[in-house]
Structure 1
């Protein structure tokens, strides 16, 4: 028998926590086949932060957005490199003496 990971929405977590507060921790964990420690964590998050504490703590990043951010960083590095080159060239031009040309 393989265990399959279940996912619960914030609303599902909220209703399960409410039920555990009303009916008891052990009964609800058996009813939903949840680990008592997981239910305890949800309950503590709810008591600490309210309903917002039961939301997912991670944010899924859109792959397209990630690709755009990587391209943005690459372009920023290119611009920084070019700006540095321009600064070095302007400093070199300031140091070279300007005098009459010899023919």
Structure 2
């Protein structure tokens, strides 16, 4: 049985923590199917930093921005490859004599 990853917003976390403080941790853990340690961690974050402590600690990257960054990297690689090819061709032309021997 696979566990699906849940997404809980900071507002939901706040309301769950408030409910747990009011009604008790064990009951709320069962109600929302959360582990008691996770609920305890949220409560400690709330008590130390307030409502701001319940926000995600990592910044979410916009999928459109990520796609643009990947395309940018791909284009940079293409330009670098073309520049290398041009440099090699120019070096080869410098080494090749202009007048070919005719026999």
Q: Which category of TM-score, normalised to the shorter sequence, fits these structures?
A: 0.5 to 0.7
- CA distance in 2 between partners of 1:51 and 1:13 (Å): 9
Worse overlay, 46-55 or 71-80: 46-55
May I ask how many residue pairs the two structures share in their alignment? 96
Asked if 1:52 is matched to 2:52, the reply is yes
TM-score of the superposition, structure 2-length normalised? Answer: 0.59
Over aligned residues, Cα RMSD in angstroms? Answer: 3.5
- Listed as ranges, the gaps of 5+ residues in structure 1 are none
CA distance in structure 1 between the aligned counterparts of 2:38 and 2:6, rounded to whole angstroms: 13
Measure the CA separation in 2 of the matches of 1:86 and 1:4.
51
Instruction: Quote the Cα distance in structure 1 between the aligned partners of 2:28 and 2:73.
Output: 50
* C-alpha distance in structure 1 between counterparts of 2:50 and 2:17, whole Å: 11
Structure 2: how far apart are the matches of 1:58 and 1:8? 15
1:23 aligns to 2:22 (yes or no) = yes
TM-score, scaled to structure 1: 0.59
Identify unmatched segments of 5+ residues in structure 2. Answer: none
